[in-house]
Structure 1
Amino acid sequence: MPMAADDIERLIKEAFPDAEVEIKDLAGDGDHYAATVVSEAFRGKSRVQQHQMVYGALKGNMGGVLHALALTTSPPPQ
C-alpha cells in the first residue's frame, strides 16, 4: 500500500516542528514523491546529513512503503 503525502509530511513535521514542508506526488501513484524541507535543524549540516535526518524521520518507510523520494533540503535563509 502506498504512503500518503499527508503521512510523509506528518512524520517530517514530528521530527522537525519548525519545518516548512512541500510534498509533490511525481507520478500520481502515491509511490514517487518529491519533498522540499526547510528547517533550522539543517544549519551547518552537509546535504548528505540533511537527507539522512529526513530519512530517519520517515521511520524506516523509505524503500518499503515509500518507494522513491526526491529530496531538497536546506536551512531557512538568514
Structure 2
Amino acid sequence: MAADPARIEELLRASLDPSHVHVHDDSAAHAGHAGAASGGGHYNVLIVSERFAGQSRVARHRMVYDALRELFPAQIHALAVSAYTEQENQSREASRDATRNSQN
C-alpha cells in the first residue's frame, strides 16, 4: 500500500520544521515497475528547512529518510529528495525566474 502524501508531509513537518514542503506522488508513472510490486509508492519531495544549514546533500537526504523511516519499504518504494535551506531555495527560485524571463 502506497503512502498518503499528506502523511509524508506530516512526518516531515514534525521532524524537520520546514518553511515549505511539497510532496508529489509519481506512483502512476511507475505502474508495473517490478520494484513497486509490493505496493510502495514513488514520491518526489521538495523541502526547505533551516535544519539543513551546514549539512551536506547526503546528510540532508539522511535526515529526510530518517523522518520517514516508518514508511519504508512497505509504503514508500522510491523517494527523490530536493532539500534546501531558505537562502538556497530563494537563490534557486531567482535563478529559475531569470531563466524563464530570458526565454520570453
**TM-score under structure 2 length normalisation:** 0.67
Deviations 1:4-58 (A, max 9, x none): 1000000000002234101111133671110001100000000000000011111
Which residue of 37, 42, 45 corresponds with 2:52? Answer: 42
Distance in 2, matches of 1:54 and 1:24, equals 15
Where does the alignment leave 5 or more consecutive residues of structure 2 unmatched? Answer: 32-39, 89-104
User: Secondary structure, in 3 states, of the residue corresponding to 1:60?
Assistant: helix
Percent of aligned pairs sharing the same letter: 35
For these two proteins, the number of residue pairs brought into alignment is: 78
**Greater per-residue helix proportion:** 2
Where does the alignment leave 5 or more consecutive residues of structure 1 unmatched? Answer: none
Computed over aligned residues only, the root mean square deviation of the Cα atoms, in angstroms, reads 1.8
**TM-score under structure 1 length normalisation:** 0.87
1:23-42 matches, within 5 Å, as 23-28=23-28, 31-42=41-52
Q: Which residue of 1 aligns with 2:35?
A: none
Instruction: State the structure with more CA Rg.
Output: 2
